[in-house]
Amino acid sequence: MDAIDPSLQMWATFGIILAAIVLYASDKLALEITSLGVVAALLLLFHFLPIEHLFTGQPLSTRDLLAGFADPALITVLALLVIGQGLVQTGALDEIANLLLKYGGRRPRLVTLGTLLFVLLISAILNNTPVVVIFIPILSALSQKIGRPASLILIPLSFAAILGGNLTIIGSSTNLLVSGTLESITGSGLGFYAITVPGAVLATAGFLYLILIAPPLMKRFLDPGGPAADQPAGTQFIFQIEVKSGSRLEGLRSKAGMFPALKDLTVRMIERGHESLLPPFEDVELEPGDIVVVAATRVALTQLLKRSPELFERQSGLGLVGGQSGSLQDQQMLAEVVVAPASRIDGRTLLQVNFSYETNCIVLGVERRSRMIRAAIDSIRLEAGDVLLVAGPREDILALRSNRDVLLLEWSAVDFPSRRNAVLALSIFTAVVASASTGLIPIPVAALSGTALMVIGGCLNTRQAARAVDRRIFLLIGAALAMGTALSATGGAHFLAERLLYVLEGASPAIILSAFFLLIAALTNILSNNATAVLFTPIAVSVAEGLSLDPQATLAFVVAVIFAANASFATPMGYQTNLLVMGPGHYRFRDFLIVGVPLTLIMWIVFSLFAPWYYGLL
């Protein structure tokens, strides 16, 4: 390996990268601001101190540094996030989540472990990016149903997929890149199972970490819910359902004073004509015309809306609101509003104030924290501080900001769940995953095509698609690729490898192998796994030749590049699947450091102990 003289630009690049990591980890500045600052600093550095690329000999240009913002990997991640939003919006995967919940709802930990193990194994033969894409919405829906934050499962999901990619040569694009680079250097690449044995050892150690150490670590240090954490998910709303002839509620019979078929709902009262039936309900069978007054959380209500929106259609006579017609499927948003002090609504019912006529919003439920309500919401005299769950067109929901009678809770406004295009969304998703995993179409092409079909097919509108594009990911990966470009152009990675070998001169091959792995594992979280793999494979061959090792021992250094480059656990930009879970899990940069650094160290220790014995370096 040719000696590289350090330059001012190299040291400045090291300084910018170090400052970026500190700022990302400290969370003192928004991730977007830090990313923009990094890109600006690199642009200014190479504008005033231009340099020729170490390998191409061409001047490092502004176009080179900004090329990361058009990188196919970045576009793929953003497109897959939009496709995932289409699945969420249409509830396409709710039935799968319900199935998992049905058979494992009482043992959510067992379901989680089984899912992670399946993802790990299937990632050995399939590209792990579409595998993770499949399970993000499923596990997110399952987490919501069992009342656990998705942040406790999505990082382990990504890490399990990465670990599974270490089992075969086709498990990851990194593996194929190393094999291809090795073949171009030596004339022979790696066999299909060349990394399976050491990969299985590392995957076992990593999986044990994910199921034994990571969960308590995340519960202690991670923000469990992101923006949703401030929402009072456990509060109970009162809403009412009219039993129609032929509906799934007709003929429902109580058992032991309750209605067990109405899961997650508490029946407070049944109005039957002029008679009010109160709990406990002894041998009561629901009949057409009954008005069932129910208490439930907003989450439970939303799930019921997804499954059976017809239950909330405007009823004749005892309607949810006075005067409004139309289907809830025509509504676009759900939101919560608080009855304002001195409001004209205070002390009156919804029918008396004609709320729906004036606001064009349907009131689905009422929540009062001071005491339990046992009355149909038509007859509830509202009080200041009561919370109303309303549905309506987006423009009408947002118009409530200027309404003097209610205060709109901005965080609560979400798009109304609609299952109309669930089959179409699932079909598009399946086609994208199948075409990408089989290699029929490149992943970026499949992802962008799927995104276009989601919008054209009406699975989500352009506003919802735009909201799914996470600006943090866009700026983070753009900044990361700019740092990687600068580090490669200035020879920084080669310089570090050269210094490492100089310091370890005279050490045993096992010690050099261990240090080599640790250096690559550190850099892969900055450079990206594929860039690191291409950069360090020739270095690995050069180091092995310098130590005069036989072919079997030489293989240890090449395999070290694969496993170390795949040890992209410590930063979100280190691996594509980390970026995919970052948005849905509401993760911060330091969350990956907290969970990923220990796993990286475990991979290093296990490899350092096993590889020298397995490859005959001892």
For the domain that residue 250 is a member of, what is the CATH number?
Answer: 3.30.70.1450
Q: Is residue 302 part of a domain?
A: yes
For the sheet with 333-339, list strands across it. 275-277, 266-272, 291-297, 236-242, 362-367, 387-392, 333-339, 406-415
Q: If pLDDT is split at 50, 70 and 90, which confidence band does 560 have?
A: very high
Answer positive or negative: Cα dihedral of 113, 115, 121, 126.
negative
Confidence band of 46 (pLDDT split at 50, 70, 90):
very high
Q: Could you list the residue range(s) of the whole structural domain that residue 400 is in?
A: 236-415
Judge if 220 and 245 occupy the same domain. no
Mark which of 393, 415, 437 sits at the end of a domain: 415
Report percent pLDDT > 70 for the chain. 88
Q: Look at residue 552 and tell me if it is in a domain.
A: yes
Q: Is residue 433 part of a domain?
A: no
Asked whether residue 54 falls in the same domain as residue 191, the answer is: yes
Whether 545 has a pLDDT exceeding 60, the answer reads yes
Statement to judge: residues 193 and 243 lie in one domain: no
Of 415, 443, 459, which one is at a domain's C-terminal end? 415
Phi then psi for 454, rounded to 5 degrees? -60, -45
Whether 523 and 583 share a structural domain: yes
Q: What is the structure's pLDDT at 93?
A: 65
| Same domain flag for 605 and 481 | yes
Highest mean pLDDT, choosing among 48-62, 191-205, 333-347: 191-205
In this predicted structure, what is the pLDDT of residue 309? 65
Which of helix, strand or coil describes residue 327? coil
My answer on whether 477 and 396 are in the same domain is no
* pLDDT of 310 strictly over 90: no
User: Does the residue 145 lie in any domain?
Assistant: yes
Domain membership of residue 325 (yes or no) is yes
- pLDDT (average), residues 256-260: 78
Q: Is residue 274 domain-shared with residue 127, that is, in the same domain?
A: no
Do 286 and 338 lie in one domain? The reply is: yes
pLDDT digits (tens, 9 = 90+) for 60-95: 999 999 988 887 877 877 887 788 778 777 777 666
User: 237-246, 326-335, 524-533: lowest mean pLDDT where?
Assistant: 326-335
Banded model confidence at residue 105, pLDDT cuts 50, 70, 90: low
| Domain contains 20 | yes
Q: Domain boundary at 374, 396, 415, which?
A: 415
* Dist CA 505 CA 93 (whole Å): 56
Q: Are residues 343 and 485 in the same domain?
A: no
Report if residue 197 sits inside a domain: yes
For residue 339, pLDDT over 60 is answered with: yes
Shared domain check, 321 and 218: no
Residues 77 and 124 in one domain: yes
Number of other residues whose CB lies within 10 A of the CB of residue 42? 24
Residue 460 lies in a domain: no
Number of structural domains the chain divides into? 2
Quick one: 390 and 484 in the same domain?
no
Whether residue 288 contacts residue 245, with contact meaning beta carbons closer than 8 Å, is answered with yes
**Residue 317 scores a pLDDT above 70:** no
